[in-house]
Amino acid sequence: MCKENSTLVKPDAAEGRETSGGGYITFFYQKDNFVCGTFTMPPGITLSAKGAMSHPGDEIYYVVKGPSYCDLPDEGKTVRIEAGEGLTIPAGTKHIPHNKPGKEEVVVFFVCTEWP
């Protein structure tokens, strides 16, 4: 629970970095194992060059601009998420966000985890 004052976070003032796969990630909030931000991927990009990732907590994607794609290797499927749709990813689920066939995508993410 947030017990601090409300804070307006502007993307150009938020901490961000390039991802290992060639996209860009911006962090709006990182505290107490809760992270919220956006990632942007141009066509042909995978979020992480390391492949599948997983987190000890649940994660939610909400696609602002898309579609967005996420491979779920343990389920043997790729999910296409349209703009205005969300995807819930349970704790420990391996996933590979990517934009192989698409147009530029922007995804808001919320994850309960420790972030490296």
Q: In this predicted structure, what is the pLDDT of residue 101?
A: 81
3-state secondary structure at position 69: strand
Domain with 89, as residue range(s), is 16-112
Query: Looking at the domain assignment, is residue 6 inside a domain?
Result: no
Q: In this predicted structure, what is the pLDDT of residue 37?
A: 94
pTM: 0.85
Q: In this predicted structure, what is the pLDDT of residue 113?
A: 67
Query: Looking at the domain assignment, is residue 7 inside a domain?
Result: no
Query: Looking at the domain assignment, is residue 4 inside a domain?
Result: no
pLDDT digit of tens for each residue in the chain (116 aa)? 556 788 888 878 889 999 999 899 999 988 878 889 999 999 999 888 888 999 888 999 999 999 999 999 999 999 999 999 999 999 999 999 999 887 899 999 999 865 44
Query: Looking at the domain assignment, is residue 87 inside a domain?
Result: yes
Longest dimension (CA), the chain: 44
> Any idea what the CATH number is for the domain that residue 76 is in?
2.60.120.10
State the total domains in the chain: 1
Q: In this predicted structure, what is the pLDDT of residue 114?
A: 57
